[in-house]
Amino acid sequence: MLVLVSAALNLRDQSRIYACGVCGGTVNTSLRECPACRVRLDPAQAGAAADLMTRVTRACADARSIKITAEFFAIGLFACKGLWHWGAMPLPSGDRPWGMLSLAWKAIGLASLIIPVMALRWYVRFQGLRSPDPDLPKAHRDVRIGLGFFVLIALAAILLDRILEAIAGWMPDK
């Protein structure tokens, strides 16, 4: 939402938005005083504040994309594994589609290694970023959620086969 407002403001003029240091309200670099709390705004500090806001916005967007990527891989992996183990798909086992399904989850498992790489890059870029913006803690949480999904994916890739085989061993034969 903030990004859209920012984009709209940028289309109209070259001023950039940032948060008022006193009340946290949205102001832009062309304003001399905050419309919300009437505090005088310093043009010299405004540029730095706008830069900070741009970085926070970037950090939030990157964190969100890490989380979404991780969720996507996790859903894909568990869907493939679920289909494989419980034969939800009406295919006779040993057929080529099963082999492709098995390949698909191995590919997803390998591709999910991109998640810790993205998270590491995020920490290198944004770990030192300090801002009262409430979106920043959310960004940190998004990255941790992404890493959590990666741990789940890694555990699933290593252990799920054995767990499911054990469960299948307990079940009566078909």
Footprint of Zn ion on this chain (CB under 5 A)? Answer: 20, 22-23, 25, 34, 36-37
Name beta bridge partners: 18.
27
CB closer to Zn ion out of 23 and 111:
23
Closest distance of CB 35 from Zn ion, Å: 8
Residue in 68, 64, 57, 67 with CA at minimum distance from that of residue 129:
57
Closest distance of CB 45 from Zn ion, Å: 13
Per-position b or e across 84-119, b if 16+ CB within 10 A of its CB: beeeeeeeeeeeeebeebeebbeebbeebeebbebb
CA distances for 24 relative to 15, 30, 70, 82, angstroms: 18, 17, 32, 48
CB closer to Zn ion out of 23 and 129:
23
CB closer to Zn ion out of 35 and 137:
35
Closest distance of CB 26 from Zn ion, Å: 9
Closest distance of CB 69 from Zn ion, Å: 37
CB closer to Zn ion out of 2 and 23:
23
Q: How far apart are CA 22 and CA 106, in angstroms?
A: 52
Closest distance of CB 40 from Zn ion, Å: 10
CA distances for 155 relative to 77, 78, 134, 151, 172, angstroms: 11, 12, 32, 6, 27
CB closer to Zn ion out of 23 and 79:
23
